[in-house]
Structure 1
């Protein structure tokens, strides 16, 4: 019980700093990937912020592991947190979780459950898409026979991949780029399913209410 209370206290104290660190990580990574013409001092600062943010994520993971009291089983039970530590570009997606926690702490959320699912899934797609576009561009633009040559190409490809459309006009050619593509496809399917399911449930709820309010004679 003591570990649970300490873990909850740690999460309350760190959720906002970790959210800020996630944004700084993503912004610094964008500078590192896209800022080819920036002064070396700016890029070195961005790299330092990336490393510091990653170290903060690892410390947070270690503290969670220690306070959970689960030992090695923590890795299996919290596999998503483990993946985020190994692939910190996924960390900004958890900003949505932080936002939801802050909203709940300050009272009931203004949006309904179905609306929150749609809004949070949309935010997740935006953050994940931006991070994925940066990662793919970083791997692809200088590769031999690459078709993703600009960041605009990467953004277009990411949108098509997350939407599971797959036009095929631009495609990754490197092994790392293709691994990122598989991850984006899986995330796109999951988020699209969440939005579609929530929207369908909301429509059913609305129609059910209308049916209950209709007089029997009508």
Structure 2
């Protein structure tokens, strides 16, 4: 009898994750929409700014409730913070929730017998969608920090989007550079994510090319014989 809670805990935790991944992803889009409205709307645009703030607060509360439930179902207590560090990070910084896209795909894939896309296509699709959402989130965050800063080169949201594209692709022309501490922290995080995503796409594409050429080489001698 004493083993029953231990044996059932991973199952309950897994079921909760499968059931909540899609709602959490949709909530993250709502959070992003609310944050975008809060940042981009003029200061006198009421009641829209207030509604955007309500969206942000309600979705964050939803994330916090889910986080507490995950801790209880995991049976790990505070060790959950270490073993599921990404969950902790995205709770504190909800704009990083696009990093959990791979878990959304995994949750959806468990409902099918075979994946619809190949491994390489899945990596490229995941990296592309993640780059898009992270780039938009980072542009919002940097614009929020930089628009009123003295000596800032990022004055409009268009400047912020251009800067995010430069940073994600590791180009870095230097025409748009964050000057605030918060903006530079966002920039450092986006640089790391950009390198990781670019490496994943490049490596996956290179592996796919090698696999194609290998198949062609294997077919060549067989057909000629």
TM-score class, shorter: over 0.9
Matching residue within 152, 176, 180 for 1:174: 180
Cα shift at 1:95 = 3.9
* Secondary structure, counterpart of 1:72 in structure 2: helix
Partner of 2:192: 186
Alignment of 1:1-218 (within 5 A): 1-36=7-42, 39-216=45-222, 217=224
For residues 32-80 of structure 1, the C-alpha deviation after alignment (integer angstroms, 9 at most, x for no partner) is 0001167311211111110111111111111111111122221111111
For residues 153-208 of structure 1, the C-alpha deviation after alignment (integer angstroms, 9 at most, x for no partner) is 00001110111111101100000000000000000000111111111111111111
Could you tell me how far apart the structure 2 residues matched to 1:170 and 1:39 are?
28
Where structure 2 has 5 or more consecutive residues not aligned to the other structure, the ranges are 1-6
Could you tell me how far apart the structure 2 residues matched to 1:61 and 1:206 are?
43
Contact 1:93–1:127 at 8 Å: present in 2 too?
no
Closer, same or farther: CA 38–20 of 1 in aligned 2, 3 Å:
farther
CA RMSD in angstroms comes to: 1.6
The TM-score with structure 1 as length reference comes to 0.94
Could you tell me how far apart the structure 1 residues matched to 2:37 and 2:112 are?
34
Could you tell me how far apart the structure 2 residues matched to 1:196 and 1:73 are?
35
Cα shift at 1:135 = 0.2
Contact 1:121–1:195 at 8 Å: present in 2 too?
yes
Could you tell me how far apart the structure 1 residues matched to 2:127 and 2:106 are?
12
Contact 2:101–2:126 at 8 Å: present in 1 too?
no
Could you tell me how far apart the structure 2 residues matched to 1:119 and 1:31 are?
27
Which range moves more in the overlay, 35-44 or 138-147? 35-44
Could you tell me how far apart the structure 2 residues matched to 1:205 and 1:156 are?
35
Contact 1:23–1:92 at 8 Å: present in 2 too?
no
Could you tell me how far apart the structure 2 residues matched to 1:151 and 1:157 are?
10
